[in-house]
Chain A
Amino acid sequence: MTEAADETLPPARATRGHRKALLQSEQSKGFALISPTFAYALVLLVAPIIVVVAHSFWTQDYLTIDRTFTLENYRIALTEPIYRDLLMRSLVISLLVSFFTVILAYPIAFYISFHGGRHKGIWLFLITVPFWTSYLLRVMSWKVILGYNGVLNSGLMGLGIIDEPSTALLYNTTAVVITLTHAWAAFAVLPIFVSLEKIDRTLIEAAIDLGDGPVRRFLRVVLPLSLPGVIAALLIVMIPTVGDYVTPKLVGGKDGVMIANAIQAQFGKASNWPLGAALSVTTMAVVTTMAGGIVLLLRWSTRLMR
């Protein structure tokens, strides 16, 4: 061991060597241990994303990639009406979905955190279980529910509310929003629940003590303090849903096609990787900007509420 060797070294050198070793040990041990996972993420996530960004500035001629720098792909992505519309629709859908999931999730997270008692764990488990089942299957079940011969139509006809099956339920934006809202529910409940759990309950008692009624103490104490959870929930739903592929494909119809379907087409039938890459980068950039804007807006509005 090094300590044994140091016994024989002159003191000054021993001290310097030791200090260096000590400073390094924590740093290097931790880093060495995490490096396989870190390397994996670098090689299979960071490097690929850099390659995608690079591709977005190139062009493709049949099967060969032309590596001359060009902004042509971005021009197409941003000005071609079809892509512009798809991007806009994707943003609107992801905005609606994240809004609805958070609005629906907040009360349930609040209920579990403040009234869950000993059963908090069971409630959380109940909420996360459907999430673990196949996403594909959950989308499929909405198709079964909303379809022309589906559960909802046959149910409504059975009750005599409508005479013939409605086609308005499936293959449109609404169907996409409903399906996605359902699919991402657990993702919104958890961060909000965690931030509510972190609130020191004596803060609420202090607010009562200082004369706040239930509504005011919710708006002035609970809501601002749970804002990080709300923001996390919004982001965690908004960013992935903007690039959803399965839902629009299965329940969206012509009316509900989203940008991911266009991206997929560039990597499939159309085989234009650079354009697909540019569409991906544009989508990420736009959704990140939108998310950032919403975060700022939320922070600003809760500051006003105080």
Chain B
Amino acid sequence: MNRLLSRWLPVYAFLYIVFLYLPVIFLPIFSVNTSAVPQFPLSGLTTKWYKELPNTPALLDAAWNSLIVGVAAAILSTILGICAARAITRYRFRGRTAINGLIMAPLVLPEIIVAISLLIVLIQLGFSLSLFTVVLGHILICIPYSMTVLTSGFEGFDRSLEEASADLGESAFGTFRRVTLPMVAPAIISSLLVSFTISLDEFILAFFLAGTDATLPLYIWGQLRFAAKLPGVLALGTLLLVGSFLLVTIAEVIRRRAARRTQNEGGAIV
């Protein structure tokens, strides 16, 4: 049994990774195919689908919208995440667990439920659907991820470090600038990158709350109806994939370095 396990588990692990990555790999492969039909064997290599991307005004608009929404959602959810993560890791107070559970809830709720609830309320409050309403929704679903990253970053932070700083004569603000900020900066940057990525790739909330302004996933969704547009979508998708991959990798590297420094292992993102 043991031998069986140690021989077959690595094989299984390898196959599992293949299963995870294989579907995703086809996007870049077919994005350089000359034929518009995603089919093997490839009919020839081309970069024309990529070259067409900057000449599509609707796409550029969507990219710009996504950038605005992503930056806004990342900054605001990280600020709200910092407050909550600091409160959770530093203070014990009544209702701590319940409040934490509520803040993390969007993680386990069907997105469509979150989306329609927000839609009803925002419309009844008189908001017209716009990028602003998308940002409101994105903040809600980004906070749990920000919280996870920030809480693990803050937990490695020994409270006596701040006391040591005060003991050595530093003021509250000075302590924040010289000790707290440098120590938690990696977690904050990590949280910004992660929530930007979530917002960039998010579809359902944007679908319900965006009104007439499209974000990149909405643009892709619109293009999927036309078979002829598929290669362009694949090219755009590939760029999004690479972008998300880079952002998440940078976030993880920063987080890991900081974790090694504060000797706090564990608490990986997600």
Q: In this assembly, does B173 line the interface, its C-beta being within 8 Å of a C-beta of chain A?
A: no
A245 to B203 Cα, complex, angstroms = 10
CB–CB A284/B113 < 8 A:
yes
Q: In this assembly, does B160 line the interface, its C-beta being within 8 Å of a C-beta of chain A?
A: no
* Chain B residues with CB below 8 A from A140, complex form: 27, 220, 224, 233, 237
Q: In this assembly, does B172 line the interface, its C-beta being within 8 Å of a C-beta of chain A?
A: no
Interfacial residues of chain B within 151-192, with CB under 8 A of chain A in the complex: none
Closest A residue, CB atoms, query B9 = A111
Q: In this assembly, does B64 line the interface, its C-beta being within 8 Å of a C-beta of chain A?
A: no
* Chain B residues with CB below 8 A from A296, complex form: none
Name A138's contact: one of B24, B107, B270 (CB within 8 Å). Answer: B24
A40 to B139 Cα, complex, angstroms = 9
Name A137's contact: one of B6, B94, B198, B241 (CB within 8 Å). Answer: B241
Interfacial residues of chain B within 211-249, with CB under 8 A of chain A in the complex: 217, 220-221, 224, 233-234, 237, 240-241, 244-245, 247-249
Name A37's contact: one of B80, B109, B117 (CB within 8 Å). Answer: B80
Number of interface residues of B (CB under 8 A): 91
CB–CB A142/B208 < 8 A:
no
* Chain B residues with CB below 8 A from A245, complex form: 111-112, 204, 207
CB–CB A38/B99 < 8 A:
yes
**Which secondary structure dominates chain A's binding surface?**
helix
Interfacial residues of chain A within 34-49, with CB under 8 A of chain B in the complex: 34-38, 40-42, 44-49
**Which secondary structure dominates chain B's binding surface?**
helix
CB–CB A144/B30 < 8 A:
yes
Q: How far is the CB of B111 from chain A (nearest CB, A)?
A: 7
Name A51's contact: one of B110, B124, B203, B252 (CB within 8 Å). Answer: B124
* Chain B residues with CB below 8 A from A284, complex form: 110, 113
Given A125-B252, A134-B203, CB of A214 within 8 Å of CB of B140: no
A28 to B237 Cα, complex, angstroms = 47
Q: In this assembly, does A124 line the interface, its C-beta being within 8 Å of a C-beta of chain B?
A: yes
Chosen A-B contacts, 6 in total, with CB atoms closer than 8 Å, are A26-B91, A45-B102, A129-B245, A133-B240, A135-B203, A137-B220
Please list the residues of chain B having a beta carbon within 8 angstroms of any beta carbon in chain A: 1-2, 5-6, 9-10, 12-13, 16-17, 19-21, 23-24, 26-27, 30, 37-41, 80-81, 83-84, 86-88, 90-96, 99, 102-103, 105-114, 116-121, 124, 136-137, 139-140, 143, 194, 197-198, 200-201, 203-204, 207-208, 217, 220-221, 224, 233-234, 237, 240-241, 244-245, 247-249, 252, 256, 266, 268-270
